[in-house]
Structure 1
Amino acid sequence: MHGLLAQRRHAHFLESVMQVSEAAVSTSPIPLRTQRNTLALIAVCLAAMMFALEISSVPVILPTLEVVLHGDFGQIQWIMNAYTIACTTVLMATGTLADRFGRKRIFIGAIVLFGIASLLCGLAWNSAVLIASRVLQGASGGAMLICLVAVLSHQFPQGAQRARAFSAWGIVLGIGLGFGPIVGGAIVALANWKWVFWIHVGLAVATLALAVAGVQESRDPQARRLDVWGMATLSAAIFGFVWFITQGADGGFTSASGLAILGASAASLAVFYAMETRIAHPMFDFSVFRVRNFSGALLGSVGMNFSFWAFIIYLPIYFQRALGEGPVAAGLSLLAYTLPTLVFPPIGERLALRYQPAFVIPAGLLTIGLGFFLMWAGSRSGHAGALPVLPGCLLAGAGLGLTNTPVTNTTTGSVCAARAGMASGIDMSARMITLAINIALMGFLLVEAVSMRLQAALGVHSADVSWNALASRVAAGDLVPPVAAPFTSAATMGAAHFEAISRAALIHGFGVLMLYGGTAVSVLAVLSFCIFRSKQAQA
């Protein structure tokens, strides 16, 4: 009896052990998967922070770079445009390469290159070297950006986890954008401008370790071939248009060289469209624009770059040169412009879930437009400091925070899962293309507005005066009168008088940019709403 009882107890014990073991085996992958997803999310967020810091911390040091590297206004524009054009060039190609060779592998390679490029940027000894280094940094940054979206989509495919992951990504992106200006200003004030770039080297090392440990490898077994000709023609078209806007004022827009560049750019764009609409597996599938929700959301991306992101390149010049603030004070003032992008993305996502992106995205764009008009009104108040324009900065930043995350989720969510990567690539490409073009266009408008005001104020009518060159100097923040200016009143004007006139012209020029940004984004908001509310979108 005792032996039988012992056998039953032994059997019951073995059965319990087996149940516990089976439960452990069945549940053990869940914590491991959760841990890897957490590491991957942190890696993605750090990569997003690097990309965001690169956008928001560099503009605040552009006035310093102009002096240290002996650059001019055109080179200042190209320091930013080299990054955006290179980023645009690799976006779609990165998606194809990641699908074929593995998203983790390409992501890791992009992180390494971004760290190396950041090191080279800090080692630059003149503007040309910095611009070349920025090309490499922009290419690796664009590859990193497209991969991090793919990583998020793969490791958080659906449900609440996906929403939380994209919200965390948006928040960290906002942190980088929000605190980038003060980080850049503080680094310049306390150390050296080189560390604005070198800080990314340490971040790249940390991101690399987390990506190796947490990101799961994934690829598309039916990945399409790399569209080399599509990349080449699109890049040539963008570069040509930006070059025409940036350099056309010097050589003349109607000159033979200017018209040749414009014609070559238009031809490259036409060839790109013809190729992408005829091949079986295009890099840039234009048929996706028939999805009205996608097109409406894409106008949100365009609207943000017609206003907010292009203007941030020049806003530090306004605070530092036109209003006379130092790097740290300018960084603090820029927080009013960028910090709301940290606070409002979760609010924008919740509003999109409740009221649909068809209302939230156009409303966010209109909020950006109202912010720009409020900045313009503040700039005309006659107050010497930055305080009158800060309410408009806050409102514009809030509008961008409301718009950005719903735009990203809507463009990727309005097409089938198999085309989500391509949709994300088009979204990112539209952002970078419009950003590059509008950096150049805003620079042109600023120089033209400053030139007209200088001519009216100085009253000089001389063929010997190069008004574009003089206005470019003033637009870059150089308010000192030229040594050999052929002004009739140069002898009696004095440096202080010339500086006052130049500062007034610079403030007027920025007022023109504020009006342009507010008008452009408001028009795009109306167009976005009309596309969203069309019958096809409702269907």
Structure 2
Amino acid sequence: MATSLVEPPALLERRSRRYLALAVLCLAELLVVLDNTIVNVALPSLGVQLATGVSGLQWVVDAYTLTFAGLLLAFGNLGDRYGRRLVMIIGLTGVGIMSMAGALAQSMGAVIAARAAMGVFAAAVFPATLALIINIFTERRERALAIAAWTAMAGFAIAIGPISGGWLLEHFSWGSVFWINVPVAAAAVLAALLWVPQSRAAQVGRLDLPGIALSIAGITLVVWAIIEGPRYGWGSLVILGAGLLGMVLLAAFVIWELRTAAPVLDMRLFRDRRFSLPALAIAIGYFSMFGFLFLITQYFQGVREYTPLEFGIASLPFAFAVGLGAPIATLLAHRFGATPVIVVGLLVMGLGFYLGGQVTVASPYLTDVLPSMVSMALGIAIVQGPATESIMGALPLDEAGAGSAVNDTTREIGGTLGVAVLGSIVASYYTTTIAPKVDAIPATLMTEREKGFVKSSPLGVLEMRTRPLPAFLESQRETLITAMKSAALHGSHTASLVAAAAVLVCAAAVAIFLPWGPPETESILLGRRKPAGS
């Protein structure tokens, strides 16, 4: 089996230097994940100040994840080819520069463009971090601990994202959530130059440009159709046409990847159940989690009317549960095998979404909201560590960059679709319910632009609450605000049940088709040889 070239070898001989490199790679990962969680907190401020609805806010999130997901495979290949540290440093530098562009943006279009560019450079960072870890830590148990730290960092990013974003928004404008990336990126670049070894594959194929183009175009069209469906109408020609064209392009992508000599995504990998089923579990897990993070932002700040800082504090249990559960789950998987751990994680996540579907406007935080959040967090934490190690363990070291990119792509595509699908379920029900009530408001009390914002987003509650009205209209305002909150929650209930059903179906598939037992037993049942270094 081929191995990757890691330079200089002496750097890897001392355990302390290996763990310094791990710390740097986790810092780079922190930057990429933090950018999504901290921006979620700023969505209400962006929505109110730039007067955009749910679809605009969805694009703030999905512009980043779309370019991120679409280019992960390409940058994983480039890292294998030209050096993973080099590609990661270029990505970190680009994220810092484009964060400055986002902070200085004056319109929603400029914010979305900056976020899309940040996603391009983030795609250069993320696969390199995991590929470097796989090549630096070649002993099986040490590698498992390193992967556990890598997955736990996502939880830490979720932990500090809402609270740091809330603090920044209490003291500064929404642009501060972009500025915070700049010093983190600079520190990560400097540390990478000092402590991370260069690593590249001994052999690589040509870059699959047609495959990259087909995947980006197909995914973008499908997600655009899902996000814009509530605005144009699900049966409209533009939505049906975009969705159908996107599906055709994705089908063409699959056919091309099966026939080309050097595919950007080797579809034959999915024949290996040890690879495909954990990848499915991660995709469904992130579909649910990203959708949940998008919806909970609107719930806490639109329905419960929390300030950004209060939202950050309220979301801390979710974040810490992810950070604590991921490394423990990875260690349990080494003893009992990945299958039982992944199945339990999916079931716990499904329970969380079911509980979330029972929350009402008057539900207390401690007894109703908190158990739902912690169950969802523990579920994704339990799933992602063992699933990631199973995916990477199914690949040779020489394909670490491409394999890491596949692992990351499943996460991001799942997350992108989660925001699109679950967000659109809420938007469809909310707009249908609230639009007639808002249209009945006299033009002397609310302009058409203001009506459009209130009709398109539950965050319009913040606008309605602060606008001056005569005293005799106070009761009508409170009635409308209550209706807005109820409509948003009704849509969230449906979205929660959709997410719960998705994770339960996935749990059943993993339980039935992925062998049970310790890692050694799984390898025998699957007829696979352990990867190098195990």
Work out whether the TM-score is over 0.5. Answer: yes
The letter of the residue matching 1:498 is: L
| Secondary structure class of the residue paired with 1:81 | helix
1:250-399 equivalence runs, <5 A: 250-377=231-358, 379-380=359-360, 382-383=362-363, 388-399=368-379
Q: Which residue matches 1:144? A: 125
1:179 Cα deviation from its structure 2 partner: 2.0
Amino acid at match of 2:380: L
1:425 aligned to which of 405, 408, 426 = 405
Asked if 2 retains the 8 angstrom alpha-carbon contact of 1:113 and 1:140, the reply is yes
C-alpha separation in 1, matches of 2:455 and 2:285: 26
Letter in structure 1 aligned against 2:270: F
Find runs of 4+ consecutive structure 1 residues off by over 6 angstroms: 455-460, 490-493
Segment drifting more, 438-447 vs 188-197: 188-197
SS of aligned partner of 1:57: helix
SS in 2 for 1:221: coil
Distance 1:147 1:472, change over 3 A: farther
Deviations 1:182-223 (A, max 9, x none): 111111012232221111110111111110011111222321
The answer to whether the Cα contact below 8 Å between 2:294 and 2:423 also exists between their aligned partners in 1 is no
Q: Aligned AA for 1:391?
A: P
Distance (whole Å) between structure 2 residues aligned to residue 318 and residue 524 of structure 1:
27
The residue number in structure 2 matching 1:405 is 385
Q: Report the counterpart of residue 40 of structure 2 in structure 1.
A: 59
Alignment correspondent of 2:148:
167
Give SS of 1:277's match: helix
Deviations 1:228-255 (A, max 9, x none): 1111100000100011111123223333
**Which is greater in Rg?**
1
Maintained 8 Å contact 1:321/1:477: yes
With 348-357 and 37-46 compared, the bigger mean Cα shift is at 37-46
Q: Is the 8 A contact 1:118 1:137 kept in 2?
A: yes
Q: Which residue of 2 aligns with 1:14?
A: none
| SS class of match (2:405) | helix
Residues 471 and 372 of structure 1, relative CA distance in 2, 3 Å threshold: farther
- Alpha-carbon spacing, 1:537–1:243, altered in 2? closer, same or farther (3 Å): farther
- 2:75 corresponds to which letter in structure 1? T
What residue is the counterpart of 2:483 in the other structure? 501
1-structure distance, mates of 2:110, 2:12 = 48
Output the CA distance in 2 between the equivalents of 1:383 and 1:424. Answer: 41
Aligned residue number for residue 417 of structure 2: 437
Q: Contact 1:317/1:477 (CA < 8 Å) preserved in 2?
A: no
The yes-or-no answer on 1:210 pairing with 2:218 is no
Does the 8 Å contact 2:38/2:177 carry over to 1? yes
C-alpha separation in 1, matches of 2:143 and 2:501: 35
Counterpart check, 1:510 vs 2:492: yes
Q: Deviations over 1:445-468 (max 9, x none)?
A: 0022224544899998xxxx99x9
Query: Would the alpha carbon gap of residues 147 and 29 (structure 1) be closer, same or farther in structure 2, given more than 3 Å must change?
Result: closer
State how far apart, in whole Å, the 1-side matches of 2:18 and 2:383 are: 27
Deviations 1:343-394 (A, max 9, x none): 11121011101110011111101111111112223x1384365752111101
- Cα contact 1:302–1:434 (8 A) shared by 2: yes
Shifted more, 338-347 versus 447-456: the winner is 447-456
* CA positional deviation for 1:538: 4.8
Count of residues in correspondence between the two structures:
499
Distance 2:261 2:504 in 1: 37
2: CA distance, partners of 1:364 / 1:446? 26
Tell me the distance in 2 between the aligned counterparts of 1:458 and 1:210. Answer: 54
**If the length of structure 2 is used for normalisation, what is the TM-score?**
0.87
1:171 to 1:430, Cα distance in 2 relative to 1, 3 A: closer
Unaligned runs of 5+ in 2: 1-8, 441-447, 466-471, 517-521, 528-534
Shift of 1:39: 3.1
2:458 to 465, 475, 488: 475
Contact 1:112/1:208, CA 8 A, preserved across alignment: yes
Query: Which has the bigger relative contact order, CA under 8 A and spacing at least 6?
Result: 2
Three-state SS of the structure 2 residue aligned to 1:339 is helix
**Partner secondary structure for residue 218 of structure 1:** strand
- Tell me the alpha carbon deviations over residues 52-110 of structure 1, each in whole angstroms, 9 at most, x when there is no partner: 21121111110011122232221100000000001012111111111111111111111
Equivalent residue, structure 2, for 1:13: none
Q: Which of 170, 176, 200 pairs up with 1:219?
A: 200
- 1:526 maps to 508
Q: Following TM superposition, by how much is the alpha carbon of 1:443 offset from its aligned partner in structure 2, in angstroms? A: 1.6
Secondary structure of 1:447's counterpart equals helix
Q: Which amino acid aligns with 2:426?
A: L
- Superposed CA RMSD in Å reads 2.8
Whole-Å separation in 1 of the counterparts to 2:120 and 2:474: 51
Give the distance between the partners of 1:455 and 1:35, measured in 2 at CA.
Answer: 61
Query: Counterparts of 1:346 and 1:257 in 2: how far apart (Å)?
Result: 46
Contact 1:361 1:402 in 2 (8 A): yes
Equivalent pair of 1:96/1:226 in contact (CA under 8 Å): yes
Distance in 2 (alpha carbons) for counterparts of 1:523 and 1:454:
33
Matched letter for residue 495 of structure 1: R
- Pick closer, same or farther for the CA change 1:527–1:447 going to 2, 3 Å: same
SS of aligned partner of 1:58:
helix
Partner of 1:123: 104
Show structure 1 runs of 5+ residues with no match.
1-27, 483-489
State the TM-score, normalizing by the size of structure 1. Answer: 0.86
Of the three residues 413, 425, 428, the one matched with 1:448 is 428
Give the % identical residues. 28
Change (3 A) 1:99 1:492: closer
SS in 2 for 1:475: coil
C-alpha distance 194-459 of structure 1, shift in aligned 2 (>3 A): closer
The one-letter amino acid of 1:449's match is Y
- Give, in whole Å, the separation in 2 of the partners of 1:159 and 1:473: 51
Q: CA deviation at 1:145?
A: 0.3
